[in-house]
Amino acid sequence: MFTPLQLRSARVLAGWTRADLAKASGTAAETVQGFEARGSDPKRSTLIAWRNALAKAGIEFTDETDEHGAGVRFRKRR
């Protein structure tokens, strides 16, 4: 789905602390910290909640391709 580095990068790009992401996603800041720092294995529903919260902030995750690594970026405004 995404890596700990992608989550940390997305959160920073959004200008959020771990507590901000936890609040926006309805998860615990300790769970965010565990995934980012130690690569813990959160529930799939937690990963989805993080992705959805960041998407509302205008952030999208990009998959690895033959030319580029996985990453994050701002979503183009419509």
CATH number, domain of 31, equals 1.10.260.40
The pLDDT of 40-53, averaged and rounded, is: 97
pLDDT for 78 equals 66
- The mean pLDDT of the chain is 96
- Domain count along the chain: 1
For residue 65, give every residue at least 6 positions away whose Cβ sits within 8 Å of its Cβ, in sequence order, or none. none
CA distance 54 to 66: 25
pLDDT for 77 equals 73
Boundaries of domain holding 33? 4-74
pLDDT for 1 equals 86
**Helix axes of 4-14 and 29-38: crossing angle, nearest 10 degrees:** 130
3-state secondary structure of 74: strand
How much of the chain exceeds pLDDT 70, in percent?
A: 99
How much of the chain exceeds pLDDT 90, in percent?
A: 95
